[in-house]
Amino acid sequence: MSVREDLADRVPGGDAGFIVAVLLGVYAAYVLAGVALGYSIRGQLNSVAVLTFYIGVFAMLALALNLHWGYTGLFNIGIVGFMAVGIYVMALVSKPPAGTGAAQIGGLGLPLVVGIVAGMAAAALLGALVALPALRLRADYLAIVTIAMSEIVRFTFLSGTLEEFQLFGQQVGFGGGSGVILNFTDPMEAFFRFFGLWDSYLGIVTAFEVIIPNNPKPVVDGLVYGVVLLGFVAVLYWLLKRTGESPFGRVLKAIREDEDVANSLGKDTNRFKIKAFMLGCALMGLVGILWLMTSGSVTPNFFRPRVTFFVWIALIIGGSGSNTGSVLGGAVFAALLFQGPRYVKNLVDTVIPNADAPSSFGPAVAPLFSNFDPSPLFFYTIDSIRQLQLVFMGLVLIWLMHNRPEGMLGHRKETAAGIPLTSSRAKGTAHADGGERGGTDE
């Protein structure tokens, strides 16, 4: 414990420096792997952009979850439902009206910003709806209610009933199982046009032709979007840090430690919990929007519970209760557990090209028994890395819960006091407030 603590202290720049150092390490590893794979510059930049994207979204989701679980002790396992509501409502509001060009179902045709705000508001409202019955009860009831809610959301968007309907005199809809096409203005373009920087952005894209001769725009778009996401991470980090240090945040921490005590001090804990829950849900809606806004289309089956599971692993790796830990956990999860196995697959595929990987488990195992040939099983394993990576994540989660439930930085409690409590170390650390997590689940 103390080793990590010292490490974080010794890195110049404190927490932010630590995060940057980890990120640089991750990127270096990816670039080296790219070199080993013989990627072109275009491929390298692309893989960096994809990695940045996932680091950004998982860090943000872990931050939002940390507000729920780490600060307030609310066990939310319906994250993906709030994300779905965010992007779907945003699409509904911002898609151009039916009949103006696109063949698909229309939307209300309002500006993107309005759509984003509406999506976040809808996610927050859904959060309030879920929280009202469940917050008064045990933590595991909230878990069951939230995950049930996230599945209800998915089935609702899948259903044919809401495929198309009338709203404010417009023919709108959620597209059922085939999903919605996000045919609004390219968010990047809207973003830069808003600041009047679109032309200069296009100029920068053209400048990239020096490095990438043909069609550099998708690559630059990806990179810039990644940077924008990291900017959002920074804003969210700052926002949640401020929230945590505010009187509001102190009450949340008090609720996490002992709700009865907070209650007896005259705090209406239910109101605080609902507010914190709604804020976190709105942020999850925002991440849902940021994740899918540029992907062109959304289908309901993207929002399977596994995404929630990813975010939980990210938070637990980083350590719940710590914002720095959340960002770190998001980055480590995205780099090692989420993108890592796919990279390994690519590496193996380059070293040993396997044109004839068996299509199912039977043909993969049969040669092992008949003539001790493990290679088909090996190729099948490599080929189905996307399923096995979930198995691996499950095992990682079990291991973490057994051996390090506090994660990388979770032992660092952010103290509720506004002034430093220790003289030698100005930073609030675990030793300051001695209270252990617990007592929130009753």
- CB nearer another protein, residue 192 or residue 309: 309
- CB nearer another protein, residue 187 or residue 410: 410
Helix (H) or strand (E) segment spanning residue 110: none
Nearest distance from residue 339's CB to another protein, in Å?
Answer: 17
d(CA 38, CA 330): 28
Pull the structure tokens for residue 424.
Answer: 């030698």
Pull the structure tokens for residue 32.
Answer: 């080296």
- CB nearer another protein, residue 190 or residue 366: 366
d(CA 262, CA 267): 6
- CB nearer another protein, residue 12 or residue 160: 160
Nearest distance from residue 48's CB to another protein, in Å?
Answer: 28
Pull the structure tokens for residue 340.
Answer: 């890592």
Nearest distance from residue 140's CB to another protein, in Å?
Answer: 5
Nearest distance from residue 75's CB to another protein, in Å?
Answer: 6
Residue given tokens 């990590």 in the structure block: 4
Nearest distance from residue 31's CB to another protein, in Å?
Answer: 30
The SS3 of residue 185 is coil
- Give the largest CA-CA distance in the chain: 74
d(CA 152, CA 158): 10
What is the chain's percent helix, strand, coil content, to nearest 5? 70, 0, 30
Nearest distance from residue 4's CB to another protein, in Å?
Answer: 21
- CB nearer another protein, residue 373 or residue 441: 441
Determine phi and psi for 438, rounding to 5 degrees: 150, 165
- CB contact at 8 A, 62 and 314: yes
CA distances in angstroms from 245 to 29, 116, 262, 356, 428, listed in the order given: 35, 27, 17, 57, 11
d(CA 120, CA 112): 12
- CB contact at 8 A, 415 and 421: yes
- CB nearer another protein, residue 224 or residue 400: 400
Nearest distance from residue 198's CB to another protein, in Å?
Answer: 42
- CB nearer another protein, residue 114 or residue 391: 391
Contact positions vs another protein (CB under 8 A) = 75, 77, 133-134, 136-137, 139-141, 143-145, 147-149, 151-152, 155-156, 158-161, 305-306, 309, 312, 316, 359-362, 365-366, 384, 387-388, 390-398, 401-402, 405, 438, 441
- CB nearer another protein, residue 149 or residue 240: 149
- CB nearer another protein, residue 220 or residue 393: 393
Nearest distance from residue 214's CB to another protein, in Å?
Answer: 38
Nearest distance from residue 70's CB to another protein, in Å?
Answer: 13
d(CA 253, CA 413): 10
CA distances in angstroms from 175 to 53, 102, 157, 181, 287, listed in the order given: 26, 14, 8, 9, 21
